[in-house]
Amino acid sequence: MVESIVLSGVAIGCIYALIGVTYNVMFSASRVFSFTAGTLGMLGGVLGSLFIARAGMPVVVGFVLVLAVGALFGVVTEVVAVRPVLRSLEQHLYVLSTLALALMTQQLTAIEWGTESRPFPRLFDLARGGFDQQFWLPMAACIAVIVGLELLYRRTLVGRAFLAIAEDTYAARALGLPERRLRMASFALAGMIGALAGFAGGEMLLAFFGNAPMLTFYGFVPVALGGMGNNRGAVVAGLLLGLFQQAANFLVGGIFASVAVFAVFILVLLARPEGLAGAAVQRRV
């Protein structure tokens, strides 16, 4: 039993961590937390099921299409909900504009795809076993994304430009970096990561429109606890969250597990609003 708790806990934790990374990649480029992070995860599952199970596409084609739609949705988010409000003096409009976009997408999915959970296809024709693909796929996706991001940020020029934008937008612009294009690229990248999270976790979470608000919340927990923009923090906090949730699930039952996760989240945040790994930010007057 311990084994299955750990397996499912780590797997689901990897999905949360990936959604957390999705938040972070968008946040680094724009200082905006977008409500669409969970929506991307939901889309990954629903579209994967649509393309592969319903339309009968080969797995690879379906996978590439899912990533492409995720990237497109990321760009749309940037153009429709982020760029127009970044210029505004009102600081918090992005909360509303991204919420509106997330709700529209979620509602559209509910109407077109249906409100019940549908199964997600098995991607590899392997027998079910202890260390099943539904567990190792999210883990593999998480490792691939983290390693990929590290390589991108540390080794490539584009990645360094991303970091420069995240560090100081004005200075980066003054250096002649194409800030707007880099921001769009970041949102496209975030879109792919979010869609990948939902795709890799499809068998666990199923293709269900209600995954959007669920992932928006549980994916934000690692960001809040791990510190904004801190991917490693998000992975550690995401894994802890997944393990804690699964353990509580087995020990005390699903409802109280949710209550417990929520209570811990609120208490930690109240004690350390900057997150467990984040540094306090001085307020400017």
Partner 1 sequence: MEMPITKLRPDRADALGGRATRMLGAALPFLALLVVGVAFPLFGGGYWGVIATRACVYWVLVSGLNLVVGFAGQLAIGWVSLLTLGAYTTSVLAAGNVTPELPPYLALAAAAMAGAVFGLIIGLPALRLRTFYFAITTLGFATIVTQVALAWQSVTGGGVGVPGPIFPPPFDTQWGFYYFCFALAAICTWMTANIAASRFGRALTAIRDAEVAAEACGIAKPALLVTVFLFSGAVASVAGGLFASLQSYITPDAFTLDLSVLFFIAILIGGRGSILGPLLGTILLTVLPEFAAPLVAWSTFLYAVLLLVIVLAIPGGIAEILDFKNRRPLASNRAIVPRPDLLAGLFSTQSDSGADAGAEAGALRLEQLALSFGGVRAIDGLDLEIRPAQVHGLIGPNGSGKTTTLNVISGYYPPQRGAVKLNGVALPVLARHRRAHLRIARTFQTPRLVGAASVVENVMIGGTIDGAGTFVESLLSLPRHHGDEARLRDTAMLALAVVGLEGLAPVRADRLQHSELRFVEIARALMLRPAFLLLDEPAAGLSTEEIERLGALLAAIARAGTGVLVVEHHPDLIFDICHHVTVLNLGKVLAAGTPAEIRAHREVVNAYLGG
Site for partner 1 in 170-209 (CB under 8 A): none
79 binds partner 1 (CB under 8 A): no
Site for partner 1 in 107-126 (CB under 8 A): 107-108, 111
By C-beta, is 58 or 273 nearer to partner 1? Answer: 273
Best CA proximity match to 132, nearest among 52, 180, 213, 203: 203
247 binds partner 1 (CB under 8 A): no
Best CA proximity match to 214, nearest among 61, 63, 45: 45
Task: Give the gyration radius of the chain's Cα atoms.
Answer: 18
Q: How many residues line the site for partner 1 (CB under 8 A)?
A: 42
Q: Tell me the residue type at 124.
A: F
214 binds partner 1 (CB under 8 A): yes
Best CA proximity match to 80, nearest among 35, 44, 43, 18: 35
The span from the first CA to the last CA of the chain, in angstroms, equals 54
Task: Give the whole-angstrom CA distance, residue 5 versus residue 12.
Answer: 10
Task: Give the whole-angstrom CA distance, residue 94 versus residue 81.
Answer: 7
155 binds partner 1 (CB under 8 A): no
100 binds partner 1 (CB under 8 A): yes
Site string for partner 1, 263-282 (x = CB under 8 A): --xx--xx--x--------x
Which residues are at the interface with partner 1 (CB under 8 A)? 33, 80-81, 84-85, 88, 90-93, 95-97, 99-101, 103-104, 107-108, 111, 213-214, 216-217, 220, 224, 253-256, 258-259, 262, 265-266, 269-270, 273, 282-283, 285
